[in-house]
Amino acid sequence: MTRRPRIAFLSEHSSPVAVLGGEDAGGQNVYVDEVSRNLGSLGFDVDVFVRRDDTTSPDVIAWSPGVRIVHLEAGPPEFVLKDDIWPFMPVFRDAFLRFSVRDDRRYDLIHGNFWMSGWVAAQLRHKLDIPVVQIFHAVGKTKQRHQGSLDTSPAGRIAIEHEVIRSVDRLIAQCPSERQELVEDYGADPAKVVVVPSGVNVARFKPSDRLKIRQQLGLDPDAFVVAYVGRMLPRKDVRNVVRASAILMGQTEAPVQLLLVGGETLEPDPVTTPEIGELQRLAHELGIADRMTFTGRRQPDELRHYYCAGDVAVTTPWYEPYGLTPLEAMACGVPIIGSAVGGITFTVQDGETGFLVPSCDPEALAGKLHYLLVNPDERTRMGHLARLRVEREFTWPVVAERTAALYRELLQPLVAPQPAISVGVDSM
């Protein structure tokens, strides 16, 4: 009998309904949301399983055609830092099994996100005898290599990642460097590892009238605006951006303004977001506090305006497994300067869609900023090429179709997926 393939999408700490911009809410949340939605449009029934972190959300949410979000009881129904969730994962696994029995739903494939859900997926593969696709979003050995003593991952993470890699049927790497890490650091079978880059919503992030937006935001229409949009975490190294901007301001008489978008709250608050306090202190030390604007957290539908307000976008983390910020800036037709780490080396084409610079090197960053300041035609050229690149390679429908191709390979001889229809929770 013809039916739509059923996918269990496991994502213990990254829910599509989470407020983005917080400590543990970022690119993985976007990935889970966009990929599940687009898979629903391609004819799959997708249930996204997340850990309940409040007492008010429904057990099941009809999220989009063909897609449901399922909240599983695993640990206290409150926010828990992702590195503290691991002890609750056996409960998460058992809650999944109870739900599938209660809902009378047999899944055809499991898609694990992050190492903890990967462990659950590997356990379920043996119990349910169904294929598993796994994406880590970040792997422990690379994180440990970059963060050292700052790495707060639970003991045993790397050993569990080895177990997951041996157990699953396919591994998704978001960029070639991650594929190399999986093969060389973990001994993954190269035939099992497929590069499927994450994407960007090109309808949400698109070029806009810069002068009009600056007028709306109260920014100087004549300034050279350097924009940072993202989470305010030490590893994002926004301090490097502040130092580079100070160097640039000392090199030119042109008006330069630094726009910083992000944080835990709608207003910039150094108490709830300590990194903002560090940046404010650094700006005062460098004498550029009056040329910096902090906005606080903004929601996805607002971010386009802040990218488009900038003449250039900057992201220079010293550790970044992939990073969606460069793609968002590029989709807005804004050149991007990124540090030459992780996935940024794959998404940003050096000298074409922006520049790659060494991490933790404000002099190098300032040099590229100065180049773009004095070469407006280059800014225009790079912004145009950036938009074309994301339209061609990095849209979420493209990501979903590449993911669906993996599913279809593993699901043979199941029939082809059927068109999605909008249905309520009770009828699914």
Specify the CATH number for the domain of residue 50: 3.40.50.2000
Burial of 118 (0-12, 13-18, 19+ CB in 10 A): buried
For range 270-287, the mean pLDDT: 96
Looking at every residue in the chain, the average pLDDT score rounds to 93
- Give SS3 for 371: helix
**Average confidence (pLDDT) over 331-360:** 98
Segment 195-210 shows an average pLDDT of 97
- With respect to residue 204, please indicate whether it lies within any of the assigned structural domains: no
Q: For residue 327, tell me if it sits in a domain.
A: yes
pLDDT at 149 over 90: no
Same domain, 190 and 247: no
Whether 181 and 278 map to the same domain: the answer is: no
Assigned token pair, 344: 């940024």
User: Do 247 and 194 fall into the same domain?
Assistant: no
Give the structural domain span for 195. Answer: 6-199+395-423
Q: In terms of domains, do 257 and 344 share one?
A: yes
225: in domain = yes
Peptide linkage before 326 cis (omega within 30 of 0) = no
The predicted pLDDT at position 361 comes to 98
Residue 221: pLDDT band by 50, 70, 90 thresholds? very high
Scored b (16 or more CB within 10 A) or e, 83-107 reads eebbebbeebbebbeebbeeeeeeb
Structure tokens at 208: 């806009």
Residue 48 lies in a domain: yes
Task: Please check whether residues 380 and 414 belong to one and the same domain.
Answer: no
Predicted local distance difference test score (pLDDT) of residue 13: 93
Mean pLDDT in residue range 92-97: 98
Confidence of residue 299 (pLDDT cuts 50, 70, 90): confident
Other C-beta atoms within 10 Å of 133: how many?
25
Q: Would 1 be classed as within a structural domain?
A: no
Q: Which of 18-32, 116-130, 148-162 has the lowest mean pLDDT?
A: 18-32
Whether the CB-CB separation of 387 and 333 falls below 8 Å is answered with yes
Shared domain for 77 and 160, answered yes or no, is: yes
Q: What is the distance between the alpha carbons of residues 352 and 386, in angstroms, rounded to a whole number?
A: 8
Instruction: Output DSSP code: residue 102.
Output: H
Q: Is residue 108 part of a domain?
A: yes
Spatial distance between the Cα atoms of 10 and 31, rounded to a whole number of angstroms: 12
19 DSSP assignment: P
Q: Does residue 257 register a pLDDT over 50? A: yes
Does residue 24 belong to any structural domain of this protein? yes
Quick one: 367 and 230 in the same domain? Answer: yes
Residues 173 and 222 in one domain: no
Residue 26: the pLDDT is: 80
123 and 20 co-located in one domain: yes
Higher pLDDT, 18 or 11: 11
Residues 167 and 251 in one domain: no
Assess if residue 205 is contained within a domain.
Answer: no
From residue 190, give the alpha-carbon distance in Å to each of 40, 162, 170, 210, 277: 29, 14, 10, 45, 45
User: Do 249 and 188 share a structural domain?
Assistant: no
Q: Mean per-residue pLDDT for 120-125?
A: 97
Residue 357 has pLDDT above 80, yes or no: yes
Q: For the whole prediction, is pTM greater than 0.85?
A: yes
Same domain? 51 vs 80: yes
Tell me how many domains the chain contains: 2
